[in-house]
Structure 1
Amino acid sequence: MASLWQFFGLPNPDGSSTEKKPARQTPAGSTPTPASLQKTPQLTVAKQPAAPSQTPLKHELEDTASVNVSVKSPPPNWKGPVTAEGEPFHDLGAHTRLRNAIPRRALRYVAPDTMNRIPTREMAKRVHQGDSIIVDLRPMVHMDTHQNVCRRELQQMGNEAGIGVFALDAEDKLLLLPGKDVVVDVGRHELGLQTLLSD
């Protein structure tokens, strides 16, 4: 009966094998005689010529073994573990913390100043840097015409900058200006000032 190690094709670590040992070999000088020859003692068995020495074969095997076992060197900047073959080993269980990078983008909130103005030039610079801006026109409660003027200025600035201006509420008092390389999903949401500014 085969052992568990043999089932997986591995050598038995205990050294004991359940396999049958090979049959006893005859001495090197003589060859086994068949049963038919053993009955007739008059016949003699001719000796076979000695096999050529196997030292060249050993050298050939050593050469091929040295050729096949070539250890690769890891990439020049590799600092992690390496496998037995020299390949870099990426341990997916090892977690390394990245240094906290300084954020390059921001979400900015802009409201009209004391004179009810919106700084569109400075906002355009920030939008080109990647910042997204939310403009709040709610402080101008009873100034509908001034709110419309601010919306038109923002729409004009958006056209010059190549970005869209999106409304975040039903009254169009919270407006979003996405920064450079910011994607806004307009397919699922109704965003924009198309109805107000098309007049």
Structure 2
Amino acid sequence: MIAIIKYNAGNTQSVQNALSRLGYLSVITDEPETILKADKVIFPGVGEASSAMKYLREKGLDKTILSITKPMLGICLGLQLMCKSSEENDTDCLGIFKTKVKRFPSFGIVPHMGWNNFNVLKGDLFRSIKKTEDVYYVHSYYAEINEETIASCDYILPFASAIQKDNYYATQFHPEKSAGVGEQILKNFLEL
């Protein structure tokens, strides 16, 4: 079973639709027991960091996420919340990844919205994906490049497009909105 974490900040339905197109069944849930029993967990996100973290803490989902031993994929805000902290309303996050999330400098067009390719790609998540292929982004904040970065991208400055530590994976881009390339990345995750 695939669990999609519901925390009032996720694009849960579009992720579930993408999984259905790939032939996978999933459940959207905020029940810790269901999440911990899942074979794979997806932590999608669209929204604001501090209110999302408040909801996670109120529901005990912060502790649940830190207890997951199966493969987990954070998407967009999900990636940011898996980092140490965010400049968005000075938010302490989950700390899975030791990097910080910062706001893009104001001398560029923010948010970063649209299609962009990669600088670096490594690991099983990107099996059969080329650096020249584009994925879809929409974000005003970014994770700094760090030792856990498995993909990077340039927009105003280089940033971590994907991060991985142990069973935790995360993408700043939206694979569920990235056409065939995104579907392949989701499929790679589901086959881990």
Q: TM-score range by the shorter chain?
A: under 0.3
Higher relative contact order (CA 8 A, sep 6+): 2
If each structure's strand is expressed as a fraction of its own residues, which one has the higher value? 2
- TM-score, normalised on structure 2? 0.24
Whose radius of gyration is greater, 1 or 2? 1
